[in-house]
Structures are given as structure tokens and as C-alpha cells.
């Protein structure tokens, strides 16, 4: 006769919790939640709702500024514009693999931008206007294959306008998709690369208030 095996209660409880975690993770929502909580931890000034609204007690899809897709319930848009936030952008933001819209304009985010943002292969719209980002304008902005609008005005970026924005030899080029570029009011120098002419879908470009030659 087969013997019935009884597990000690603590072990049984751990198995139940572990099973629940696996069940929730199958929805892929906790991963997005974890990455947004990382962003929250890098925000040093938040006079609005993130400090209370971005809580693990509610679904990430109900958080302020967050939009999820109806099919996979993954985060597809993040709009934190005009919230008087101060902080830096952590590398974990690049793990929001379904993100197509990223707007944080009119805040006080500062520092340099993490290269992990290039993992956002679905990104179509990016607006970092009117913040305090600094350092060289990253050349990897040419690596977003679906990017249509790039707005980085009124920051402290320096260096040259990356030629890769219009580099037709790039294996992950956005030549066919970029329609709007705003790099005005920074500290950009040097000449404008002729490769910008390869952006055949471009409708608007603003490079004013820089030190271009």
C-alpha cells in the first residue's frame, strides 16, 4: 500500500507561495512592475502621485501614467510629462520590451542616458524635452528600428549630431520611420552630417539654438 506523505506546514506554505508566483509571472506583468518600481526608486523628488499610486497592491496597468496593451497586458506607453519629477533614468527602463511610447518631458531628470534603452525595439515616440540630461548626445539613437519621433530639446547634450541617425548601412536603421527630430536648445557642435538627407520620411527637424557650424 502506498504511503501518504505529509509535508511540514512551513514547507507546504512555501510551495503554495512559489506556485502563486509562477502563476502571476506567466502574465509577464510583474516583470514590467519591477522595472517601473526601479524607475520610481531613482526619483528623488515626487510631489504628485507616484509615491502612493505606484504600489504593488494594484495592477501596474492601473498606475498613473501607465498604459497597457489589451492583448498581452504589457506596458506599451509611459507618460510622466509635467509631473515636476527629479531623478535619473535607470537601466531597468530598457527592459520594458513592449514599450512604444515614452514621454517624460517638462521634468528635471538629469544625468546621462543608459544604453539599455536600445532594447526598446518597439519604441515609436520618445520625448525627453525640457529636462537636464547632459553628456554627449548618444549615437545609439539611430538604433531604434521603429522610431518616428525623437525630441530631446532644452537639455544639456553636447557633441555632434550623430550621423547614424541617417546611416543607411546600419543593420537596425530607422531611416524609413523617423518623421520628427527636435534637438534644439542643447550644446551641440560641429557640422550637420549629410547622412541626415537619407531620412526619406522626415517631415520636421529643429536644430536651432546650438553651436553648429
Assess whether pLDDT exceeds 50 at residue 14.
no
Assess whether pLDDT exceeds 80 at residue 192.
yes
**Terminus-to-terminus CA distance in the chain, angstroms?**
89
Contact 185, 154 (CB under 8 A): yes
Contact 209, 185 (CB under 8 A): yes
Q: Would you state the pLDDT for residue 177?
A: 84
Q: Would you state the pLDDT for residue 20?
A: 41
Q: Would you state the pLDDT for residue 198?
A: 84
Residue 10: pLDDT band with limits 50, 70, 90: low
Q: For the residues 80-108, what does the mean pLDDT come to?
A: 97
Q: Would you state the pLDDT for residue 175?
A: 57
What per-residue string of b and e applies to 79-99 under the rule 16 or more CB within 10 Å gives b?
bbbebebbbbbbebbbbbebb
Provide the pairing of β-strand 187-190 with 156-159.
Answer: parallel
Percent of the chain with pLDDT over 90: 61
Q: Would you state the pLDDT for residue 174?
A: 55
Name which of 9-13, 104-108, 144-148 the model is least confident about: 9-13
* Among 48, 26, 27, 30, residue whose Cα is nearest residue 38: 30
- Give per-residue pLDDT as tens, 41-66: 999 999 876 878 898 889 999 999 99
* Among 171, 76, 89, 91, residue whose Cα is nearest residue 132: 89
Q: For the residues 72-96, what does the mean pLDDT come to?
A: 96
The mean pLDDT of the chain is: 85
Assess whether pLDDT exceeds 50 at residue 92.
yes
Assess whether pLDDT exceeds 60 at residue 84.
yes
Contact 103, 83 (CB under 8 A): no
Counts of helices then strands in the chain (DSSP H, E): 3, 14
**Phi and psi based region of residue 198 (left: phi greater than 0; alpha: psi -120 to 50; beta: remaining):** alpha
Where do we find the cell 525623437? 150
- Give per-residue pLDDT as tens, 95-109: 999 999 999 999 999
Percent of the chain with pLDDT over 70: 81
Residue 193: pLDDT band with limits 50, 70, 90: confident
The domain ranges of the chain are: 29-206
* Among 212, 121, 133, 197, residue whose Cα is nearest residue 165: 197
Whole-model pTM: value is 0.82
- Give per-residue pLDDT as tens, 15-47: 444 444 444 443 445 899 999 999 999 999 998
- The helix, strand and coil proportions of the chain, stated in percent and rounded to the nearest 5, come to 30, 20, 50
* Among 6, 30, 34, 156, residue whose Cα is nearest residue 92: 34
Q: What is the CATH number of domain 29-206?
A: 3.80.10.10
Amino acid at each position: 500500500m502506498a504511503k501518504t506523505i505529509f509535508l511540514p506546514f512551513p514547507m507546504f506554505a512555501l510551495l503554495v507561495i512559489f506556485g502563486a508566483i509562477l502563476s502571476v509571472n506567466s502574465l509577464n506583468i510583474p516583470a514590467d512592475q519591477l522595472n517601473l518600481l526601479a524607475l520610481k526608486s531613482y526619483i528623488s523628488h515626487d510631489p504628485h502621485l507616484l509615491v502612493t499610486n505606484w504600489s504593488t497592491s494594484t495592477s501596474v496597468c492601473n498606475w498613473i501614467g501607465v498604459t497597457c496593451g489589451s492583448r498581452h497586458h504589457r506596458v506599451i506607453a509611459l507618460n510622466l510629462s509635467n509631473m515636476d519629477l527629479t531623478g535619473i533614468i535607470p537601466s531597468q527602463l530598457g527592459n520594458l520590451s513592449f514599450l512604444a511610447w515614452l514621454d517624460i518631458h517638462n521634468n528635471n531628470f538629469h544625468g546621462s542616458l543608459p544604453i539599455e534603452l536600445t532594447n526598446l525595439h518597439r519604441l515609436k515616440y520618445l520625448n525627453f524635452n525640457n529636462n537636464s540630461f547632459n553628456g554627449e548626445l548618444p549615437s545609439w539613437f539611430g538604433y531604434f528600428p521603429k522610431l518616428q519621433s525623437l525630441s530631446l530639446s532644452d537639455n544639456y547634450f553636447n557633441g555632434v549630431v550623430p550621423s547614424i541617425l541617417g546611416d543607411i548601412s546600419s543593420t537596425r536603421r530607422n531611416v524609413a520611420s523617423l518623421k520628427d527630430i527636435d534637438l534644439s536648445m542643447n550644446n551641440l557642435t560641429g557640422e550637420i552630417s549629410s547622412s541626415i538627407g537619407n531620412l526619406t520620411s522626415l517631415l520636421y527637424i529643429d536644430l536651432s539654438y546650438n553651436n553648429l557650424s
